[in-house]
Amino acid sequence: MNEQLVVERLTEYSDGDAGDIGRLMSMLGARFDGAPIPQEVLEAIIESSYHDQLVARLDARIVGTATMSIVMGAGMQKLGYLQDFVVDTGVQGRGVADALWQEMMNWCHEHGVELEFTSGDTKQAAHAFYAKHGASVRDTTVFHVAPED
């Protein structure tokens, strides 16, 4: 069977796409339970002029995804920020990540931004992939503050 790889930007919500993306998110870590992405969240990304949900499909099934965002600030101007880049472990090694990465670079070029992202210390295979594609590590520390209830 000859599967066709297509990388695209989501332009409308579907339950199937939300389920596929939710399943993929569970591969990023324990904080994701594999539940479909809530409709209001995915629609907000799709409808925003500052965000895009990129997906890679083998035939009709989403097997990779990346969320791209424009981040702006008075001191930093405008940057592209990558969130939630994940490829199904069952299709790794078949060019899905490379195709998604190329679409991310196209997205950055179209928006006139450089790409920024974080990656956990334990994600060594991901780090090798990023380095192979020209990414370099910045000297920074990421902080997180959860709002109080």
> Which tens digit of pLDDT belongs to each residue from 88-119?
999 988 999 999 999 999 999 999 999 999 98
In the DSSP assignment, the letter for residue 34 is: S
Mean pLDDT of 2-8: 88
| Confidence (pLDDT) at 91 | 95
Q: Are the CB atoms for 100 and 86 separated by under 8 Å? A: no
Q: Are the CB atoms for 28 and 16 separated by under 8 Å? A: no
**Residue 121 confidence (pLDDT) above 90:** no
Q: How many CB atoms lie within 10 A of CB 99?
A: 17
Q: How many CB atoms lie within 10 A of CB 118?
A: 11
| Confidence (pLDDT) at 2 | 62
Tell me the percentage of the chain whose pLDDT exceeds 90: 75
Range of the domain at 58: 5-118
Rounded CA-CA distance 9/101 in Å is: 13
| Confidence (pLDDT) at 52 | 97
| Confidence (pLDDT) at 139 | 84
Q: Which amino acid would we find at residue 137?
A: V
Question: Is 138 part of any domain?
Answer: no
Q: How many domains does the chain have?
A: 1
Residue owning tokens 């993929």: 24
CATH code, domain with 59: 3.40.630.30
Report the mean per-residue pLDDT for the chain: 92
**Residue 73 confidence (pLDDT) above 90:** no
Question: Is 60 part of any domain?
Answer: yes
Question: Is 137 part of any domain?
Answer: no
Question: Is 130 part of any domain?
Answer: no
Alpha helices in 12-123 (DSSP H): 15-25, 39-47, 96-111
pLDDT tens track for 11-55:
999 999 999 999 999 998 888 899 999 999 999 999 999 999 999
Coil, strand or helix at 64: strand
Q: Where are the beta strands (DSSP E) in the chain?
A: 5-9, 51-58, 61-73, 77-87, 115-116
